[in-house]
């Protein structure tokens, strides 16, 4: 089974480049396909989103819906604009991302409170519905190798903030600018003035860590490389980052027309734990499997396909 996104599965844009594309040429340049008659499912442009997009698409196809795939659209802003315009009917979004990037609230807050806040805001301002969130938490994080953490006795972000002048950070462009990225960490913890900050496309940062080009990398809680490479994720001991639960965000009009979307995807969400998503992500990134094939096997084992 192949990926039916707008570009090839592994030709992903960085999140920063994707947002720049929107400003320069609008979404039409990134994905100009016309809407068909089916329910159009979108995703952002990194591995986990491609897997989630396929999970949603295949589960809904099993429920009897005709699905149009518009995966690999780009970053948050592009996916959100596509949803608001009706180019897509739903896509996977993260509660923490919505809180910071859409509601423009400060990072932090109780898990349930963050979900309630973004759900209410999207319903009121966009006529969009957040379905049930999954248990997985794709929180932002910083990670390093077991060897460096052991040698420098680093386990928490407080310890890392003080040691930063001795270390090189590998980051994606957004991390150096966002309130839930490096500027926010510097305000919350103090310190975090790294000896060097090197920017990478999202798929290359772990390779930079493995090759010794950087000492610490920006990570996400469900990255497959964390388990595959036995990395140390620094403890957020001041609870700076909000939770990043993933959930389908759906146009309310689409839900009214296709009521099985809510029941189907709400049944799928509880199965998506941290361990499950790390494994699915690693099958794509580490074993070079296609997201569509990985999703099909998981859904078959779970009784969806």
Spell 52-91 as b/e; 16+ CB within 10 A means b: bbbbbbbbbbebebebbbbbbbbbbbbbbbbbeeebbbbb
Which value, in Å, is the radius of gyration of the alpha carbons in the chain? 19
CB–CB of 73/84 below 8 Å? no
d(CA 14, CA 249): 22
Domains 15-137+246-302 and 140-233 agree in fold: yes
- The span from the CA of 5 to the CA of 54, in Å, is 10
Q: Determine the pLDDT at residue 50.
A: 98
pLDDT at 201: 86
CA distance 59 to 161: 43
**Per the structure block, which two tokens stand in for 75?**
């970053």
Residue 70 sits at φ, ψ, to 5 deg, of -130, 60
| pLDDT averages per 10-residue partition of the chain, 305 residues | 33 37 38 66 96 98 97 95 98 95 88 96 98 96 98 98 98 89 96 97 90 97 92 95 96 97 98 96 94 98 86
Could you tell me the two tokens for 197?
């900050």
pLDDT of residue 94: 97
Exposed/middle/buried for residue 192 (C-beta within 10 Å: 0-12, 13-18, 19+): buried
What is 15-137+246-302's CATH number? 3.40.190.10
List Cα–Cα distances, 100 to 174, 177, 187, in angstroms.
13, 12, 16
User: Given this model, what pLDDT does residue 305 score?
Assistant: 61
Task: Compute the distance between CA of residue 292 and CA of residue 275 in angstroms, rounded to an integer.
Answer: 19
> What residue ranges do the domains of the chain occupy?
15-137+246-302, 140-233
Q: SS in 3 state form for 117-137?
A: HHHHHHHHHHCEEECCCCCCE
Residue 260, pLDDT score: 97
Which CATH code for domain 140-233?
3.40.190.120
Task: Please state, in angstroms and rounded to a whole number, the distance separating the CA atoms of residues 205 and 223.
Answer: 12
């Amino acid at each position: 089974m192949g990926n039916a996104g707008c570009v090839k599965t592994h030709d992903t844009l960085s999140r920063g480049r994707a947002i720049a594309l929107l400003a320069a040429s609008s979404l039409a340049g990134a994905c100009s396909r016309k809407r068909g008659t089916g329910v159009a499912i979108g995703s952002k442009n990194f591995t986990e989103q491609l897997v989630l997009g396929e999970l949603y698409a295949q589960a809904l196809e099993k429920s009897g819906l005709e699905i149009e795939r518009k995966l690999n659209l780009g970053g948050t802003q592009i996916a959100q604009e596509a949803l608001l315009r009706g180019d897509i009917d739903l896509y996977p979004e993260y509660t923490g991302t919505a809180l910071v990037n859409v509601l423009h609230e400060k990072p932090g807050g109780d898990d349930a409170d963050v979900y309630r806040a973004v759900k209410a805001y999207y319903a009121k301002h966009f006529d969009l519905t957040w379905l049930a969130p999954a248990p997985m938490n794709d929180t932002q994080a910083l990670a390093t190798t077991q060897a460096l953490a052991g040698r420098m006795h680093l386990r928490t972000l407080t310890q890392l903030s003080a040691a930063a002048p001795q270390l090189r950070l590998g980051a994606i462009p957004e991390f150096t600018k966002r309130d839930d990225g490096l500027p926010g960490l510097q305000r919350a913890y103090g310190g975090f003035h790294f000896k060097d900050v090197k920017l990478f496309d999202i798929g290359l940062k772990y390779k930079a860590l493995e090759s010794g080009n950087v000492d610490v990398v920006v990570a996400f809680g469900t990255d497959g490389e964390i388990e595959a490479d036995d990395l140390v994720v620094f403890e957020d001991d001041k609870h700076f980052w909000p939770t990043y639960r993933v959930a389908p965000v759906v146009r309310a009009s689409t839900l009214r027309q296709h009521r099985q979307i809510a029941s189907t995807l709400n049944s799928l969400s509880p199965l998506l734990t941290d361990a499950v998503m790390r494994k699915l992500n690693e099958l794509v990134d580490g074993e070079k499997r296609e997201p569509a094939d990985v999703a099909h096997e998981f859904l078959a084992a779970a009784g969806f396909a």
